[in-house]
Amino acid sequence: MISTRTKRAAIGRTRRGRRTAIRGARRRAAVLGAVALAVGLWSAQAAGALTYFRIGTGDASGTFFAIGSAIAGAISNPPGSRACDAGGSCGVPDLIAVAQTSQGSIDNIRSIAAGQIESGLGQADLVYWASIGESVFRDNGPVENLRAIANLYQESVHIVTRKHGGVWTIDDLAGRRIAVGPEQSDSRVTARLILAAYGLREIEYEPVFASLGDAARMLEAGTVDAIFTVGPYPIPIIADLASTTPIHLIPLDDPVTAKLREQYGFLAVDVIPDGLYSGVDATVTLGIGALWLVRADLDPELVYEVTKSLWHPKTRLILDEAGPIGRQLHRETALAALPIALHPGAARYYAETADQR
């Protein structure tokens, strides 16, 4: 019989291995993007041909940057590269893509709309608000020139509390200190939407503006009562917190949440698996798509080729190397719950490959 201590040690090693793999994937993805850029710039000088394609992501330590870097490596095909069928790049000929750090979805959307970058990643809820000119986009009106290439993967809403802190449900958050991310963050916007649905406006609780790392330390110290964040599980910082401090994830599985899903098509049912975070049971929550976005006036032929490269069979190897999140990217779910229209170039690709789904 295997002892409880042995089981716990094995689980600990598995979790540490998973976190190490995620961090390693991020480093490998960053290297892929940097190498693609360096090789492309050198080759361009020799060949005299180059298309430069930026992908707005997020913080260099985050998932958006890791995935953006992997995609950049997949769609890049510097001048002088070996042919795809000869073991070389299967990206867009003479294109160099690079993941560009940013402040996240809001920053990416605004930069794309202003023509400052060619593409970027964005949470589906923020994309929706931008398209109708509401929430943080109200002052400047609808962003009408935003189009989608794909819904890449799903992120999960995490509402984290201390297991013995007396906060078990959304209603228990009234009057509490909630870390909602930086003041202009994506997570704050999502928190406002969900908490308001339960009757909790920001005057009914105290928002604390902090990075996720700082928020985890605050929750551990008891200086905040909850953390509200959105990301693909397992979120390494939350996993690390759970290994030292007993935590609870507030479920979102009641009629209020069901009504939210009916009202906003970008919200989906999601389940954070049992034991993914130490001592935490399976938790029903909300899922939000992470989209790849471009400007509406971007060359349709270029977007067609970029989309084709994204879903090329050999790209699967690059995405799988990017870790657990990369393995969630699939052509079959690329059109799920899109809050905006596809770019014509992307739409052409999906129409031509409809029988391959």
Q: If you average pLDDT over residues 13-28, what whole number do you get?
A: 48
Neighbours of 348 (CB within 10 A): 17
Query: Could you tell me the pLDDT band of residue 266, with boundaries at 50, 70 and 90?
Result: very high
| Reported confidence tier of residue 86, pLDDT bands at 50, 70, 90 | confident
Q: Residue 342: CB partners within 8 Å, gap ≥ 6?
A: 147, 148, 149, 335, 350
pLDDT reported for residue 323: 84
Highest mean pLDDT, choosing among 38-47, 65-74, 81-90:
65-74
> Which residues in the chain are classed under CATH 3.40.190.10?
4-154+291-356, 156-288
Residue type, 213: G
pLDDT at residue 25 in the model: 47
More confident residue, 35 or 222: 222
Other beta carbons within 10 angstroms of residue 332's beta carbon come to: 9
For the residues 327-332, what does the mean pLDDT come to? 92
pLDDT over 90 at 61, yes or no = no
R_g of the chain, CA atoms, integer Å: 21
- 150 strand-pairing partners: 292
Confidence band, pLDDT 50/70/90 cuts, at residue 49: confident
Compute the average pLDDT of residues 162-176: 96
pLDDT for 220 beyond 90: yes
pLDDT in tens, 94-134: 999 999 999 999 999 999 999 999 999 999 999 999 999 99
Tell the residue number behind the tokens 């990369």, with chain if given. Answer: 326
pLDDT at residue 44 in the model:
43
156-288 sits in which CATH class? alpha beta
**Tens digit of pLDDT for each residue in 201-210?**
999 999 999 9
Task: Note the pLDDT of residue 128.
Answer: 97
Q: What is the pLDDT of residue 325?
A: 86
Q: Does 251 sit behind a cis peptide bond, omega within 30 degrees of 0 on the bond before it?
A: no
Q: How confident is the model at residue 31 (pLDDT cuts 50, 70, 90)?
A: very low
Residue 3, pLDDT > 70, answer: no
* Cα–Cα dist 239/282, whole Å: 14
How many residues are there in the chain? 357
Confidence grade of residue 1 (pLDDT, cut at 50, 70, 90)? very low
Provide the whole-model pTM: 0.84
Task: List the CATH code of the domain at 4-154+291-356.
Answer: 3.40.190.10
Who has greater pLDDT, 176 or 87?
Answer: 176
pLDDT at residue number 4 = 42
Percent of the chain with pLDDT over 90: 76
Q: Output the pLDDT for position 357.
A: 62
The CA dihedral of 27, 293, 103, 33, to the nearest 10 degrees, is: 20
For residue 29, pLDDT beyond 50:
no
